[in-house]
Structure 1
Amino acid sequence: MSPAMQMGCARAAAPSCATHGAWSVACDNTLSRDARGFDEDSNTGAEVVFTRAACPAARGTVTLYAPAPLARTAVRVDDRTLVLPDGAWVYAGDGASLTTDRPAAVAAFVDALRHGVALHVGADAGPVPLDGMVAALSGIDDRQGRAGGRTALVQRGPRRASAVPAAPAPAVLPAAPTVTLSRVEQHRLMARARRTQARFIRAQHCAPPGDRMRRFLKNGVHGLDDRNALVIMGCEMGPYQGSSLLFVASRTPDGPVQPARLPVPVLDPGDSGDQGPVLTNPDLDPATGTLDTVQMGRALNDCGMQAAWRWDHTHFMLARMTLQRPCGGSAPRGDWPVLYRSVM
């Protein structure tokens, strides 16, 4: 029985992501939602991000991001100045973002934008196209069961907040510290992986770079438990990130070596639901046994994927995943929508 079922909580939701015009919306396994809009064709464009947890009483939060400090009085919808009340909207420390979670302020902001063409936040930032915003926010209302209720972002109605379903609970994944291996065992397991998986390695077109670049690749052998080890084999180095092959090897003499299976949500038809065994910039924290990967969509780090897994003595369990497919916007780099979360 899964930890979430043991706690008597609702069944986890299937993560999803969708695109509506210039807006993308993501839903994680707890039904928390993230909708954001920006112009992909602009490297200096502003960005608007809506986030909301699935709890009946959870407030929606909206944040305006700009590539430079923005002025509250410079925010416009098309040719109309948008009033952002000083007591409701809060500047971040660098002055390049404004945030509110006040229900009245969020509702007024949505109403001001829903029939507009573009949101402008000043002369130094490109506008945020508003095509797709209503569809994205309606998706939040529908998925969280808020449509027709008082807490809806777009589809407001008379239903009480208490009618909103409870949020599914995330799984609990305890720490799984790695086991220290001798250098002899590390070398033996790496050599066995290279020997027994030679055909698979060639099929992945794995061509480690020369000595100068090889040092940037992740290599190593880590004990997962008394019976298994993780072999990380540096494979290829690109302009700003490298990839490695991962194998789970039995620590018994001449035991099997298999490509690592790393589960991820199935988001599109044809997805395998398996991220492994090729990971970009993999890293294993020995204190917690958390295996991480960060894959940047481009060098600006304004799109990409981050994921983490933990070993449960049989296989890897997904612990966290964030994903942003469109590149651009002004949100902090690497601050991508969450698709999966757990209690770690």
Structure 2
Amino acid sequence: MFLFALATALAAQVAPGPLESFGDWAVACDNVRRCEMTSLLPSDGETEPNGAELSLVREPGAAGAVSITVWPPDGAKGAPSLTIDGARVEGGSFRQGALEFSGVAAQRLATALVNGHAAQIVAGAGEKTGDISLVGASAALRFIDAQQGRAGGVTALVARGPKSANMVPAAAPLPVVPAIAPTGQAAAISPALIARLNKESGCGENYAEAFPQPEPEIDVLGGGATLVLLACGSGAYNLTSAAYVVRDGKATEARFDYNTDLINADWDPSSGTLSTHGKGRGIGDCGEGASYVWDGSSFRLTEATRMDECRGSANWLTVWRAEVRRR
């Protein structure tokens, strides 16, 4: 009963923010009201996928800085510019494969998105272009205004009004998640224990001689605990795992304070992070991801991302964040 109550209490602390789609845009806000919207391929299918994408982030609070990242078409070179409805709005240079705008330039771009119909990235002398539909962009910006308490105020991007900036709710602090470093040595896990865990979890039933089970991943967690990730079935692009924690030769099912569907799970010992990345389809343009740290008794969520629309975006949106404090 104590463990059940503890798990329930941990789960109650995690409340991811909302995610919506409007026209050819997806938009989400996280648990501290940081919001991001990203472009999708048009639902009418008239635009061919070419890697062009635009993302707008607005920070919470009265200051609420706006930043915009534009990913140009695949293979684009030269000095790119961004046009909206045929009029050049901003230009720049590629930085790590993208165009980034902040401050006045980002505000100007955001304002242009409100009433625009189509954006185009023109690279170099115009030899390579990428189209971005603006259908739904205004509605997504209005959603951000509402979620951040800007509607009817001077800081809104769409729903502007006379309310002063000090009426906007202050940015909430990130929740703090304690974590311990993965120090020490992983325990030796016997084949007999793996066989028992396969039987208890049912994972062993998903494999046969013609389709053998991958070797379990065994890593040190810290605090005398060892992580065992059992392969528990796979499809074309997703591998499901079952997680166990072993202490003093005894294995218990790992506890999580969020979604326990471990799809394409990966443990990074250098950062002490267990991450998942469940794809909705093979090209990875939709799905759900999460990152966890080990606090000595449970895996605690530090980030959650989602993309519900399978329409060409590799930019999954963040709906939960936490600050990690190592012990």
TM-score over 0.5 (shorter chain):
yes
1:267 corresponds to which residue? none
For 2:78 and 2:161, the matched residues in 1 are separated by 34
Provide TM-score, normalisation by structure 1. 0.74
Please say if 1:339 is aligned against 2:319.
yes
Local SS of the residue matching 1:43: coil
Asked if the contact 1:224–1:230 (Cα under 8 Å) also holds between the matched residues in 2, the reply is: no
Counterparts of 1:166 and 1:83, CA distance in 2: 31
1:6-53 deviation digits (Å, cap 9, x = unpaired): xxxxx9864110111111101111111001123154321522211012
Q: Which runs of 4+ in 1 moved over 6 A?
A: 70-73
The reply on whether 1:194 has 2:198 as its aligned counterpart is: yes
Match of 2:165 in 1: 161
CA shift at 1:90, angstroms? 3.9
Query: Using a 3 Å threshold, how does the CA distance of structure 1 residues 82 and 71 change in structure 2: closer, same or farther?
Result: farther
| Greater strand fraction, Structure 1 or Structure 2 | 2
Q: Match for 2:290: what amino acid?
A: A
Q: 1:166 to 1:22 in 2, by over 3 A?
A: same
Is 1:130 paired with 2:134? yes
**Aligned to 1:82, what secondary structure does the other structure show?**
strand
Q: Partners in 1 of 2:66 and 2:241 — Cα distance?
A: 39
Secondary structure at the counterpart of residue 112 of structure 1: helix
Structure-2 change in CA distance of 1:121 and 1:209 (3 Å): farther
**Equivalent residues, number:** 302
Rounded Cα–Cα distance in structure 2 between residues aligned with 1:325 and 1:124: 29
For residues 115 and 71 of structure 1, the distance between their equivalents in structure 2, rounded to whole angstroms, comes to 28
State the identity %.
Answer: 30
Aligned mate of 1:46, from 49, 52, 57: 52
TM-fit CA distance, 1:137: 0.5
> Which whole-Å deviations, capped at 9, do the CAs of 1:295-343 have from their partners, x for residues lacking one?
334443444333111233332211112222334557xx5x432121111
* Matching residue of 1:100: 101
Q: Distance in 1 between matches of 2:14 and 2:149?
A: 15
SS at match of 1:165: coil
Q: How does 1:268-307 map to 2 (within 5 A)?
A: 274-276=259-261, 279-286=262-269, 288-307=271-290
Q: Is the 8 A contact 1:141 1:155 kept in 2?
A: yes
* CA distance in 2: counterparts of 1:208 and 1:136, whole angstroms: 49
Where structure 2 has 5 or more consecutive residues not aligned to the other structure, the ranges are 1-12
Deviations 1:185-212 (A, max 9, x none): 45454233224x15x436xx6336857x
Q: Give the alignment's Cα RMSD to 1 decimal.
A: 3.3
- Correspondence for 2:256: 262
Number of the residue aligned with 1:15:
17
Counterpart CA distance in 2 for 1:229 and 1:182 is 6
Superimposed CA distance per residue, residues 108-152 of structure 1 (whole angstroms, 9 cap, x where no aligned partner): 323433233222224744422222111111111111112222222
TM-score normalized with structure 2 length: 0.77
1:112-151 pair list within 5 angstroms: 112-122=112-122, 124-151=128-155
- Which position in structure 2 is the counterpart of 1:63? 69
Which position in structure 1 is the counterpart of 2:5?
none
| CA distance in 2 between partners of 1:297 and 1:143 (Å) | 27
CA distance in 2, matches of 1:232, 1:31: 34
Task: Indicate the residue corresponding to 2:26 in structure 1.
Answer: 24
Secondary structure in structure 2 of the residue aligned to 1:91 = coil
Does the alignment pair 1:77 with 2:84?
yes
Give distance in 1, aligned partners of 2:226 and 2:309: 36
- C-alpha distance 125-39 of structure 1, shift in aligned 2 (>3 A): farther
